[in-house]
Amino acid sequence: MFGFGYTGIIASMKKLPSGGGNGALTTAWITATSETDATIISALNTLETDLTTYGLTAKIKALYPMVGGTAAKHKFNFMDARDLDAAFRLTFNGGWTHASTGALPNGTNAYADTFLSPSTSLAQNNCGFSYYSRTNRSLDYGVPCGVYNAAAYQFCTFARHSGNNMINRISTTVYSGDTYSGVTDSRGFFTASRNTAAYSKLFRNGTSLGNGAVASTGLPSEKIFIGGVSYQNNLQFPDNEEFAFNAIHDGLTDGEAANFYTAVQNFNTTLSRQV
């Protein structure tokens, strides 16, 4: 990546430069986007430092900070800021509204293709994703991000906030998934995680909503979408909430999920778009 590869990036992350310099990931993102806004750059650099401090950097496959206010800037994967499908750069489709507060799909035909396949890039019992929503959504059964296929392998969270519950499906063919009740507000930072074959977990703002005792069975090979679910690489269950952060990662422990929320909440607070 940029001449010294992903391994070199991680190695350089172990000790970020002092004296006001930017970390390697932030520097690469600036190069890709030509960003000059000092607040955005500071927020990204602090996020990079926090991810390193919490030991999360190597666990994250793709991270979309949704800063800069345009599709051209929102598309880049902070972990690998090359403008390539192989770097999991987003391609936005349908109707999106891009602003300084994030990226908002229209709930009908909008989605972003991550080009990341769970079966290729993730492990069946060590995988998850996170998203930061600024919208108390109005659609039942919308999917913030995910994928499933004809074989019923699933990697997604179905939101049903008017019914005050969510359904989490990570590495499973079980249609019902794990149901979490009492989610009366869809705003905040949600993390779906599996790091055991026996169950998955769902977190909101760093706090566990509980364990779902649905065993893992496999991962889909199709690509993950943001703003809906990919079914055989076609959009289903489109969503209508504004995203201020998205990430696809390994499974996180309770402590890691809490630390991830702390880092992301600090990031969005610096940008004055926290909820």
Domain range list for the chain: 61-270
Report the pLDDT value the prediction gives residue 134, as an integer from 0 to 100: 96
pLDDT-wise least confident of 6-20, 239-253, 261-275: 6-20
The whole-number pLDDT of residue 7 equals: 41
**Contact present, 198 and 171 (Cβ < 8 Å):** no
Alpha helices, DSSP H, located in the chain: 5-13, 24-33, 38-53, 71-74, 118-121, 254-270
pLDDT at 214: 83
pLDDT at residue 248, rounded to an integer? 97
Report residue 270 as tokens: 């610096």
Asked if residues 96 and 72 have their Cβ atoms less than 8 Å apart, the reply is no
**167-175 mean pLDDT:** 83
> Would you state the pLDDT for residue 3?
43
Task: Report the distance separating Cα 156 and Cα 9, nearest Å.
Answer: 29
Q: What is the mean pLDDT of residues 54-66?
A: 98
**How many other C-beta atoms can be found within 10 angstroms of the C-beta atom of residue 144?**
29
Average pLDDT, the chain: 89
User: Which residue did the predictor score with more confidence, 261 or 150?
Assistant: 261
Q: What is the distance between the alpha carbons of residues 118 and 62, in angstroms, rounded to a whole number?
A: 12
Query: What value does the mean pLDDT take over residues 16-33?
Result: 82
The region of weakest confidence among 61-70, 96-105, 160-169 is 160-169
Claim: this prediction has a pTM higher than 0.75: yes
| Predicted confidence (pLDDT) at residue 168 exceeds the cutoff of 70 | yes
Strand pairing class (145-148; 229-231): parallel
CATH of 61-270, picked from 3.40.50.1980, 2.40.50.140, 2.60.120.200, 3.40.630.30, is 2.60.120.200
Residue that wins the pLDDT comparison between 57 and 165: 57
Residue 9 has what pLDDT? 43
**What pLDDT was estimated at residue 139?**
63
What pLDDT score does 17 carry? 40
User: In this structure, are residues 275 and 187 in contact, taking their beta carbons and an 8 Å threshold?
Assistant: yes
Instruction: Write down the pLDDT at residue 20.
Output: 52
pLDDT surpassing 90 at residue 185:
no
What is the SS3 assignment for 249? strand
From the list 36, 47, 121, 38, the residue with the least C-alpha distance to 78 is 47
Say what the pLDDT of residue 176 is. Answer: 64
**Average pLDDT for 44-70:** 98
* pLDDT, tens digit, 9 for 90 and up, residues 84-127: 999 999 999 999 999 999 999 999 999 999 999 999 999 999 99
Residue 159 has pLDDT above 80, yes or no: no
Give the confidence band of 4 by pLDDT, cuts at 50, 70, 90: very low
Residue 12 predicted with pLDDT over 50:
no
